A and B are shown apart, each in its own frame.
Chain A
Amino acid sequence: MNNVKAIFKKQAKGILRNPESLIQFLIFPLVAFAMTAILNFDEYYFTEEMLASMPNMVTMMATAFAGMALIPMVASIIAEDIEKKSLRFLRMAGMKPAPYLLGVGGVVLVVSMVTSVIFGFISDFSGADFWIFAGGIMSGVAASIVLGATIGILSKGQQSSTALSMPIAMVLGFGPMMAQFNDTVARILHPFYTQQLNVVADYLAGNSTAPLWNSFAIMWGNVIVLGIIFALVYAKKGLKG
């Protein structure tokens, strides 16, 4: 527990002193807010039908945040510690991989909770729907953290972590946006957590009748599958600095 705390504190200070990474937590809800405001701006002429056919900007950006921002971020944090040999000194001091990864993931999870709540506030959801939506984002965040950690372990450095994580993040982040316009893409992406996040949002908006538990089951199924992949990669590759 002491070691988790040490890494949690180190990572929290690192994120707070690194505005570039903090921006990633804020830019997605900010863009969602701005886009929603523009669509609702009186001077622009959007008919009810046009607005109805447009995707919900908040859910779209929330999906992009859960899928796109966090995977490269977590992968990059781990890859940086590997590349700069910081991990070597941590290991020499007795740091085990599990507390290290829990510490890194914990910080990202906590900051993402704030982002999820911001998304909840700028969405139209209220009451239980608000928390269901925020819970959906957090499920996506959990899956992304595990996936990012796997990529971080596989990477030799920050450059390779970006090269590995960006294509995956783009598919997971942009895929559900495309799925809003194309049923085939929606079907293909059905087993992925970012698509299910969109389904949850659609359900809450009254645009879908698919059962909510089904989406949450798929999202947490993703977390479990990714956790198994992570364990296998970790067993093979370890966490060497």
Chain B
Amino acid sequence: MISVSMKNVCKAFGSNQVLQGVSFETHNGEIFGMLGPSGAGKTTIINILTKQESADSGECHVEVGSNQIGLMLENDGLFDRLSCLDNLIVFEDIYKIPRSRTLEALEKVGLGDAAKTVVNQLSKGMRQRLVLARAVLHKPKILFLDEPTSALDPMTARGIHKLIRELREGGSTIFLTTHNMEEATHLCDRVVMLHKGRIVEQGCPKEICERYNAKKESFDLESVFVQLTGGGLE
């Protein structure tokens, strides 16, 4: 069943055409990756799907309402003067969920011991984990993650990958953007490759790799991307 879809969506900021006829769909319970270099239009797609921006043309569909969506963006929007727990309590009150679930979310992201730590004293990795805890607090049906592991150390990134997989197993649809092709290869069920606002390829990472790297033994989405666009990811 389709949970998120876009059909022929275009978006421009002034003279800068960010999205040019983008079409794709995600299915319930899958990890869907949106790959592309910085400036490819990945965040704009999330913003349109979460109604932060409107598309100039085309159709968008998200199966659930905004209160069943979890969101993790580059701008984390945390309340810097409050503790980790207090940050989550704001949303606990809004979603009307019990305290036990808030504490459980903190434990899941490994911040149980840092519950009383003020947010402006957290490292980048801890902030990312807190944002993830906030995003999953209400057990959303669809989770949008914008570069969830960017600038994180490998151990923290691995922990977040584990959590993302657990969420998928719990029935959530995960929509993530990344420019880390290795991450996408190992984590995503299906991916879309975005370049200069256009989709250049989409499908299962394994199938894409086999299609373009037929002679190689290992999967390598990055070389596929370079073949398709003539450019790198950074």
Contact = CB atoms under 8 A, between A and B. Distances in A.
A209 interface: no
B154 interface: no
Given A14-B79, A84-B77, A85-B75, A94 B134 contact: no
B52 to A, nearest CB: 6
Contacts of B134: 89
A100 to B, nearest CB: 10
A86 B86 CA distance: 14
Nearest to B96: A2
Nearest to B73: A85
A89 B132 CA distance: 12
B60 to A, nearest CB: 16
B50 interface: yes
Interface in B124-147: 134, 138
Interface in A98-142: none
A2 B67 contact: no
A10 B86 contact: yes
9 contacts: A2-B93, A9-B93, A14-B81, A17-B81, A18-B81, A85-B75, A86-B77, A87-B77, A90-B94
Nearest to B91: A93
B82 interface: yes
B174 to A, nearest CB: 16
A13 B94 contact: no
B91 A86 contact: no
Contacts of A5: 93
Contacts of B80: 84
B24 interface: no
Contacts of B77: 84-89, 241
Contacts of A93: 66-67, 91, 94-95, 138
Contacts of B73: 85, 88
A95 interface: yes
Given A2-B96, A94-B94, A10 B67 contact: no
B71 interface: yes
Contact of A95 (B71, B94, B118): B94
A6 interface: yes
A93 to B, nearest CB: 5
B69 interface: yes
Contact of B86 (A13, A88, A241): A13
Say which size band chain A's interface belongs to.
20 to 34
A88 B66 CA distance: 11
A180 interface: no
Nearest to A86: B77
A94 B82 contact: no
A10 B82 contact: yes
Among B75, B90, B91, B138, residue most surrounded by chain A Cβ atoms (within 10 Å): B90
A6 B81 contact: no
Contacts of B184: none
Interface string A1-40: 0110111011001100110000000000000000000000
Contacts of A17: 81-82, 118
A52 interface: no
B78 interface: yes
Contacts of B89: 9-10
Contacts of A84: 75, 77-78, 80
A8 to B, nearest CB: 9
A53 B43 CA distance: 64
Interface string B180-193: 00000000000000
A28 to B, nearest CB: 23
Interface in A62-94: 84-94
A3 B93 CA distance: 7
Contact of B94 (A2, A87, A241): A2
Contacts of A90: 90, 94
A241 B94 CA distance: 17
Interface in B59-107: 66-67, 69, 71, 73, 75-82, 86, 89-91, 93-96
Query: Can you list the 10 inter-chain pairs with the closest CB atoms, starting with the nearest?
Result: A6-B93, A85-B75, A85-B77, A86-B77, A89-B77, A94-B67, A10-B90, A17-B81, A93-B94, A6-B94
B94 A9 contact: no
A9 B81 contact: no
A146 B123 CA distance: 37
A86 B78 contact: yes
